């Protein structure tokens, strides 16, 4: 009867090489997928496009986040993902009084004047962004006498 030589040393060696190659490729695959930056951007856009006051939060699978006025970058061991905000620019919030407004949603309770609030917003937009550890993004849309901004913090 004709068939493959199943007891051939060359066949066994070939199977071993194929198995090692498969394991090598499987070992380089990430343990989890890259973060869902588009999903976070959709949450930010929903608040930015809606009426103020409004707020939302979005949990994510990133280890670190970088917020900019026009987009977000997120990374973990699965890779780095980026998304652009459709309703930007937003105000990336790191700390200070804007962090309080991000949580409470009322700028007039934190800032003495509307001008002081505007200065803090413009300074935050100009601040150089950096990677920060995060497991949730918080978004708050606020308005003070017609001055509408969307605050985003990690």
CA of 94: how far to CAs of 1, 15, 24, 88, 135, in Å?
Answer: 76, 55, 42, 17, 15
Dist. CA 118–CA 100, nearest whole Å: 15
pTM of the model as a whole: 0.78
How far apart, in whole angstroms, are the C-alpha atoms of residue 47 and residue 38?
14
The helix/strand/coil state of 35 is coil
pLDDT 10s digits, 43-71: 999 999 998 889 999 988 899 999 999 99
pLDDT at 136 over 80: yes
Average pLDDT over the chain reads 85
**Across residues 102-119, what is the average pLDDT?**
92
Q: Are 99 and 153 in contact (CB under 8 A)?
A: yes
What pLDDT does 71 receive? 96
The pLDDT of residue 6 is 60
Residue written as token pair 């100009």: 126
* Dihedral over alpha carbons 109, 112, 114, 120 (to 10 degrees): -90
Which residue is listed with tokens 């103020």?
A: 52
SS3 133: strand
Lowest mean pLDDT among 12-21, 30-39, 43-52, 59-68: 12-21
Give the DSSP per-residue string, 41-110. HHHHHHHHHSPSSEEEEEE-S-SEEEEETTEEEEEETTEEEEEE-TT---EEE-STHHHHHHHH--GGGT
Q: What percent of the chain clears pLDDT 90, i.e. is strictly above it? A: 63
pLDDT for res 109 = 92
């Amino acid at each position: 009867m004709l068939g493959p030589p199943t007891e051939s040393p060359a066949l066994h060696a070939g199977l071993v090489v194929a198995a090692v190659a498969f394991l090598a490729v499987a070992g380089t695959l990430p343990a989890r997928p890259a973060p869902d930056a588009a999903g976070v951007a959709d949450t930010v856009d929903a608040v930015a496009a809606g009426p103020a006051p409004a707020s939302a939060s979005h949990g994510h699978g990133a280890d670190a986040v970088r917020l900019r006025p026009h987009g977000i970058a997120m990374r973990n061991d699965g890779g780095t993902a980026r998304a652009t905000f459709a309703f930007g620019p937003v105000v990336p919030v790191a700390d200070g009084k804007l962090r309080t407004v991000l949580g409470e949603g009322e700028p007039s309770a934190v800032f003495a004047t509307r001008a002081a609030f505007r200065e803090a917003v413009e300074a935050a937009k100009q601040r150089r962004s950096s990677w920060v550890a995060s497991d949730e993004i918080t978004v708050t849309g606020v308005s003070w006498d017609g001055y509408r901004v969307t605050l985003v913090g990690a």
